């Protein structure tokens, strides 16, 4: 991967060693100096609707949030946390940063031509990526091409109970999510090859990866192990297998082909890569980014009634995770609850460790960055966010355990630095370790207890396993 090897870690009783850490994202010391000057170029909708500022046109989310009923609290994100104007203050909080090229902000002008369902969008994205590489590449050393392509494909181009922009395609789920996902993967591959085809000096060359949202799945019983393999091909392999190996996972391809045949189709609704595209995608990541929040227990289903009878265990906005897989996924009620009654997160750190073990053993141990990990506020905790502290400590310890077994974890990204506009949840789910007062025109920031605890983890380079991170 190119990072200098970390210093020797020593086990301290009651503590777990961690690699060198810095606020929000962890990298080795050689990388830190290169990151000090980087501005975080993330999706403006998360922080400030800047349509009209310095020539920015509307994105698919600028239009989507104005459709009645699409956002839980009917908010728009027009101001959000206002990082457009308060970026210096946020950089002072953050200190060390990376860059994401695409965080769901497709220009509305491209969506009007079909968006990610139109193959032409691939070339538009490649040109956009090349522009960013050219303009910022001498300072930016770590790039993420696309954030959570599976979420874009499923919730944006299928969206049953949980819908994202552009939306309106749930009647076409059987093909729209797969075509969008196919084009997203090809856009990533072309961007990666473009970057590494540019004439960089040795001191300028950086690293390019992708951030995949992974719902880890584990079998309910031994009888569910085979269906869990297929479920993993859906939740992990769909967007990782073509990059880490080549092509889509064979079991998933066979499943969609069978369903397509039973539906009377002449060909599979799962698109095929050409041989050139397989070669282009294979190895097209200097690191694999993993966004991890939850694990699902997988149970084979015999019919749709089984799925309906178990729906109370499945958070609404995780519906669609196992589309076309004869299985249901649910979270164990004994796992630590996070957030309110509408939350989709229950804390299960062993799931993250299991996922990292799987990547190490099944995919030749690639370099990995945890690009997102965190949880929303729990009611009545306010700044004393003890549930978040438990969640973070448990998951950071899980990363450390995976590293001790040989997983090459090169960084850890906490989600998130500050409260922000949380997509379809509006301002009803807040993930920040710094509170933002959205009723204050100045959007004042206040540190939560988790910010203090996280800083202590960073400074001590270890996480304490104590009563603060146990449940119940």
Strand pairing category for 287-300 and 368-372: parallel
pLDDT at residue 25, as a whole number: 33
Q: What is the pLDDT of residues 201-213, one digit of tens each?
A: 999 999 999 999 9
- Ordered by start, the domain boundaries in the chain are 15-469
pLDDT, average across residues 70-86: 60
Share of the chain above pLDDT 90, in %: 56
Encode pLDDT of 187-238 as tens digits: 999 999 999 999 999 999 999 999 999 999 999 999 999 999 999 999 999 9
CB atoms within 10 A of CB 73: 9
As a whole-number percent, the residues of the chain with pLDDT over 70 amount to 72
pLDDT in tens, 161-184: 557 777 777 777 889 999 999 999
Query: Of the given ranges (25-39, 280-294, 420-434), which has the lowest mean pLDDT?
Result: 25-39
The set of residues, in sequence order, having a beta carbon less than 8 Å from that of 93 and lying 6+ positions away, is 23, 417, 418, 434, 445
Mean pLDDT of 382-391: 96
Residue 78 confidence (pLDDT) above 80: no
Q: So what's the pLDDT on residue 342?
A: 86
Tokens standing for residue 279: 């070669």
Calpha distance 281→193 (Å, rounded): 9
Which listed CATH number (1.20.1260.10, 3.40.50.10420, 3.10.20.30, 3.20.20.80) goes with 15-469? 3.20.20.80
- How confident is the model over 130-168, as pLDDT tens digits? 999 999 999 889 999 999 999 999 888 886 655 777 777
Who has greater pLDDT, 304 or 58?
Answer: 58
Q: Tell me which residues are annotated as active site.
A: 148, 372
């Amino acid at each position: 991967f190119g990072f200098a090897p970390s210093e020797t870690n020593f086990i301290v009783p009651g503590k777990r060693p961690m690699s060198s850490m810095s606020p929000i994202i962890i990298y080795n010391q050689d990388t830190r100096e290169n990151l000090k000057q980087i501005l975080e170029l993330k999706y403006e909708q998360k922080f400030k609707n800047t349509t009209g500022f310095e020539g920015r046109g509307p994105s698919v989310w600028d239009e989507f949030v104005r459709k009645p009923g699409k956002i839980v609290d009917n908010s728009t994100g027009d101001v959000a946390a206002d990082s457009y104007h308060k970026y210096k203050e946020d950089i002072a909080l953050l200190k060390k940063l990376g860059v994401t090229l695409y965080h769901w902000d497709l220009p509305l002008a491209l969506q009007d031509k079909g968006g990610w369902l139109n193959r032409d969008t691939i070339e538009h994205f490649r040109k956009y990526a090349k522009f960013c590489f050219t303009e910022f590449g001498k300072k930016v050393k770590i790039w993420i091409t696309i954030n959570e392509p599976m979420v874009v494909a499923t919730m944006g181009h299928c969206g049953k109970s949980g819908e994202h922009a552009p939306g309106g395609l749930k009647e076409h789920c059987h093909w729209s999510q797969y075509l969008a996902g196919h084009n997203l993967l090809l856009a990533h591959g072309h961007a990666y090859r473009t970057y590494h085809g540019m004439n960089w000096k040795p001191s300028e060359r950086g690293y390019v990866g992708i951030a995949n949202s992974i719902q880890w799945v584990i079998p309910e019983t031994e009888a569910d192990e085979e269906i869990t393999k297929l479920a993993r091909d859906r939740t992990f392999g769909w967007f990782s297998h073509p990059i880490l190996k080549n092509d889509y996972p064979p079991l998933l391809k066979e499943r969609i082909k069978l369903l397509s045949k039973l539906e009377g189709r002449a060909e599979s609704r799962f698109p095929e890569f050409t041989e050139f595209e397989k070669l282009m995608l294979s190895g097209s990541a200097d690191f694999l980014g993993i966004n991890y929040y939850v694990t699902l227990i997988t149970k084979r289903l015999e019919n749709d009634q089984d799925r309906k009878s178990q729906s109370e265990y499945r958070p609404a906005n995780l519906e669609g995770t196992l589309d076309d897989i004869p299985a249901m996924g649910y979270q164990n009620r004994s796992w630590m609850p996070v957030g309110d009654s509408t939350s989709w997160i229950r804390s299960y750190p062993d799931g993250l460790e299991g996922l990292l073990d799987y990547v190490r053993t099944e995919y030749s141990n690639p370099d990995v960055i945890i690009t997102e990990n965190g949880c929303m506020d729990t009611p009545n905790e306010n700044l004393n966010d003890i549930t978040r502290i438990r969640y973070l400590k448990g998951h950071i310890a899980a990363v450390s355990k995976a590293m001790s077994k040989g997983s090459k974890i090169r960084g850890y990204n906490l989600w998130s630095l500050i409260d922000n506009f949380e997509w379809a949840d509006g301002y009803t789910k807040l993930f920040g370790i710094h509170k933002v007062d959205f009723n204050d025109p100045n959007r004042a920031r206040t540190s939560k207890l988790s910010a203090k605890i996280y800083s202590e983890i960073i400074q001590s380079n270890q996480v304490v396993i104590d009563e603060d991170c146990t449940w119940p």
